[in-house]
Structure formats: structure tokens, C-alpha cells
Structure 1
């Protein structure tokens, strides 16, 4: 008899778990820092509100931690579902949120909170990046100009080494008569008579 009652009880639990289907939305939330997020779970049939709970995990496959109601986290229950509201969102609120009803978890909703935006810091970083880009451009231009100037200087030095010296025409414009004919040596003393043989022949 006991085994029969246990079997009926098990079948009842299985039928309840199969009959109750959980729909959770939205599946993803991307919100700004300081905003508010609302998660909803709906049941396929009515169920007492005291069975509704909310859990948070870092990722879908990580351990789940139950959420307790406080000024930032508001939990609302009804016979057909439940909802979770998070106010003044922070970066540590990032994670996956699950509703739990009768030992069954919903599919989960992933929440991603963006970092707070500081306009002054963003403008300062942009100006610094622009200044660095301009400075890099100027340094590159100076380097290229220095290389070209160095190359030109070396080329001029090489040309000056191989340049032929100019010929000084000292006697340019003088005539033979001015020299008096003394520039040519008389070679008659070395002349031999006709028909004479050279000593080396």
C-alpha cells in the first residue's frame, strides 16, 4: 500500500512539473548605468505566489544565488507569474537572472550594464589622441627631411671628389714671335749625313 501511494505521489509531481511551463522575457537586457530593468515570468497555469523566487548567476552554467528583496530589488508575485525590478543599475548587476517556480527554473534573462559615461574624460582623451597623431606626423616629416638633406649632402661631396680640375692656360694669348724662337732646341748637331748607317743597325 505504501509503495502504491508513493507511486501515485510521484506521478502527481511529474504531471504537475510537465503541466507547468515557464515563459520568461526578455531574454537579453542591455541598459545604461543608473537605469532600471524589469524581468517577467509567466506560468501556463495558476500557482500560489509563495513558490515564486528569483536567482542570479554570473553565467548560464554558473551557480545561482537567491535574490532577496531590498530597496533596489523589488519582487512582485501573482497566481500566473512573477516579476523582478532592479533600480539604479550598477556594473555589479551584470549576470543572468532566473525565476524559480516549484523547483523549476525559467530559461533566464541576461543583463548587461554599460559603464558610466564621463563626457569630460572622453573629450580629454580624444584631444590627447589627436595631439599625439599630429606630433607623430611632424616627427615623421622632420625625419624624412633630415634623411633627404643628408643624402643630398653626401651626393654633393661625391661629385666634388671626382670633379676634374680646371686647366690653367698660363701662356694663352702669347705668340711664337714673342718668345723669340728660343723655345725650340737646335737639333742639327744630332743630325747625321745622308747614307750613314745607324750604329745599332
Structure 2
């Protein structure tokens, strides 16, 4: 019984060791447009003939079998690698649209995938122009902020002055002789007084 169990374990380990494993190199490639890139699909059974197919998806989390199969033609060339037909995928004159994740499949066994990132080349003049525009926008925002703050301060000061003016009341002017009616009796006051004193005692003053 133990012998049978031992033979079964040995058979399982041999089967696992002989299972096809697929690897890809490189796992990541970053290039600029107009460049070139090559991905390699490697089989653990290099002494056996096999055929590799390539599929492209947008992200790693997407299912590779639902991706678009990559065909040779134009800028894309698929070559043999060792005994694996189609084991090498090369892309010439890389465009931004070529970025994504490429999976190879050998006899229904999928590789781990290789990601391609493509960036546009940035010239020094363009970079300086963008930097100057950014600095100009920062200065403009600062000026606008200063203008807004100054306008708010001026408005607050104006409202404060208007409030002070509304609280201030002009004091009333009271005259000591206001309402005092002095009758001159048709002549000057001092002239009438002199006439009054010149009259004999008992005579009535003209204003009485």
C-alpha cells in the first residue's frame, strides 16, 4: 500500500514538473513614440515545437482571452523564438495607441503579460514654454487675489465710515435771545429811551 502511494506521489510530481509553463520578457517596456520594442514568449518545454499567439488588453486586470489578437502586418512583426513559432513580437515606429498589456498563449497556457507604455517626446523649447505659461498663471492668480483682498478691505472701510456718519447727530443750536420779541415802536431802541427819559414823570412810554 505504501509503495502504491509512493508511486502515485512520484507520478504527480513528475506531471507537475512536466506541465507547460510560459514566461515573458521583458515584463515592462517604456519607450517614446517612433521607437521600437520586442517581447519574447518563452516556453518551459523548449525542446518541443509550439505555437504562440499574442493578445492585447488595456490593463492587467482584464481577461487576456477577451483581448484583441495581435496579427503580423505593417509595423508589427511576429517571429519564431527557438522552436516556438511566433514567440517574438516586435513593434516598429511605436505609436501612443500601441500602449497596453500583451499576453502570449502557448497551447492554451497563458504567459504573465508584458506592459508597454508609450510617451510623447517633449522638446526643450516646448518644456520652457509650458514652464513660462505656468509661472505666468501663478503670477496672474496672485494679482487677482491681491485685487480681491484690496477691494474687500476698501468696501469694509467704506461701510464703517458710513456707519459712523449715520450714528453722528448734529447738536441743536440754542440762542439765548431766541423768541424774544423786542418792539422798537417805530424807531430805534436807543432813540426811544432818550425820549422817554426826557418826558416828565408819570408819562407813559410809547411802547407801553
Query: Equivalences for 1:25-174 in 2 at 5 Å?
Result: 25-45=25-45, 46-48=47-49, 51-59=50-58, 60-61=62-63, 62-68=66-72, 70-79=74-83, 82-161=87-166, 162=168
CA deviation after TM superposition for structure 1 residue 163, in Å: 6.1
Q: Is the 8 A contact 2:104 2:113 kept in 1?
A: yes
- The answer as to 2:24 corresponding to 1:24 is yes
Q: What is the CA distance between 1:65 and its match in structure 2?
A: 0.9
Alignment: residue pair count: 153
Question: What is the CA–CA distance in structure 1 between the aligned matches of 2:165 and 2:111, rounded to whole Å?
Answer: 89
Pair 1:56–1:95, CA change in 2 (3 A) = farther
CA distance 1:67–1:105, shift in 2 (3 Å): farther
Whether the 8 Å contact between 2:41 and 2:52 is mirrored in structure 1 is: no
Distance (whole Å) between structure 2 residues aligned to residue 166 and residue 133 of structure 1: 58
Specify the SS of the correspondent of 1:53: strand
Given the two structures, how large is their TM-score scaled by the length of structure 2? Answer: 0.57
Aligned-residue RMSD, C-alpha = 3.4
Q: Is the 8 A contact 1:36 1:87 kept in 2?
A: yes
Q: Unpaired segments of 5 or more residues in structure 1?
A: 1-14, 171-201
Q: Residue 31 of structure 1 contacts residue 112 of structure 1 at CA under 8 Å; is this kept in 2?
A: yes
Instruction: Give the CA deviation at 1:58.
Output: 1.9
